[in-house]
Amino acid sequence: MDTGSWKKITLNHYAGVPIRCIRIELHSEPHYNGAMTAEKPAKPEKPVKKSAKGKPAAKRARRIPYTRDEIAEIFRRFAVQRPEPKGELEHVNAFTLLVAVALSAQATDAGVNKATRGLFAIADTPQKMLTLGEEGVAAHIRTIGLWRNKAKNVIALSRKLVDEFGGMVPQDEASLVTLPGVGRKTANVVRSMAFGVPTLAVDTHVFRIGNRLKLAPGKTPDEVERAFLRIIPPGHLFHAHHWLILHGRYCCTARKPACERCVIADLCKAAEKTTDQPAPLTVLDRNF
Ligand code: SF4
Q: What average pLDDT does the segment 252-276 reach?
A: 97
11, 87, 196, 234, 244 from 237: Cα distances, Å: 95, 15, 11, 5, 11
Whether 145 has a pLDDT exceeding 70, the answer reads yes
pLDDT value of position 86: 87
The CA 232 to ligand 1 mean position distance, Å, reads: 18
State how far the Cα of 183 lies from the Cα of 271, in Å rounded to an integer. Answer: 32
Cβ atoms within 10 Å, residue 74: 23
Domains annotated for the chain, with CATH where assigned, are 66-288 (1.10.340.30)
Q: What is the mean pLDDT of residues 106-115?
A: 94
Q: Rounded to the nearest 10 degrees, how much is the dihedral formed by the CA atoms of 97, 168, 170, 161?
A: -90
Give per-residue pLDDT as tens, 16-38.
444 444 444 444 333 333 333 33
Q: State the pLDDT at residue 58.
A: 54
Tell me what pLDDT residue 285 has: 76
Ligand 1 cavity residues, CB under 6 Å: 213, 251-252, 257-259, 262, 264-265, 268, 270, 272-273
- Regarding pTM above 0.85, the answer is no
Query: Does the active-site annotation cover 203?
Result: yes
- Tell me the average pLDDT across 193-218: 95
